[in-house]
Amino acid sequence: MSWKIIISALLLALVVTLVACSQTSAVPNPTPTKPSTSSTPATTQAPATSNTPANVQPPAPAIPQQPKNEGPKLIKVGDLLSNPDTYKGQQVALKGKVVTLCGGNGCWFTLNDGSGTIYVDLAPSNLTLAKQKLGATVTVYGELTQAKGDTYLIGKKVEF
């Protein structure tokens, strides 16, 4: 018995929703129509066959938006190593091959992109790289750091 009541209530709700959606309200035209001043005879429009009023304007075209800043630009390891002061403390992105990997828990690796090789430290960001990624091409995002004459990258994100 209770299932019949539930199904009846759902059907009633569906019918009410469909009836409410099929009714349209008249939307006023925000631009007044100007009387025709041309010498050609006025033409009449055929009556609208749908439920929408004939004076509804189409939506305005979308306004193009500026693309979002997708992060640091991809740079070459050779450029980074030859001009470390230019990039020191900045967020950078590097793409290359993982040539060596920490044997313990994958907390660091070296990256080679053909223009140079750089050490990438993942430990400060609590990241690790699986041993299976040795030889894989990756994109690493991070901050260039210099300490004791060494230039390296603190990795913040690694993409495969």
Tens-place pLDDT, residues 70-83: 678 899 999 999 99
Q: Yes or no: say if 71 and 139 are a contact pair by the CB < 8 Å rule.
A: no
Residue 11 has pLDDT above 90, yes or no: no
- Joined together, the tokens standing for residue 108 give 């660091």
**pLDDT bucket at 149, cuts 50 / 70 / 90:** confident
Q: pLDDT, tens digit, for every residue of 90-135? A: 899 999 999 999 988 899 999 999 999 999 999 999 999 999 999 9
pTM of the predicted model as reported, rounded to 2 decimal places = 0.57
DSSP code, position 125: G
Q: Residue 103: what pLDDT?
A: 87
What's the CATH code, domain 77-159? 2.40.50.200
CA torsion, points 47, 59, 22, 3, in degrees to nearest 10? 160
List all residues 6 or more positions away from 94 whose beta carbon is below 8 Å from its beta carbon: 74, 75, 76, 77, 80, 111, 113, 118, 120, 139, 140, 142, 153
Residue 72 neighbours by CB under 8 Å, 6+ apart: 90, 91, 92, 93, 141
Q: How many Å is the Cα radius of gyration of the chain?
A: 32
Amino acid at 128: T
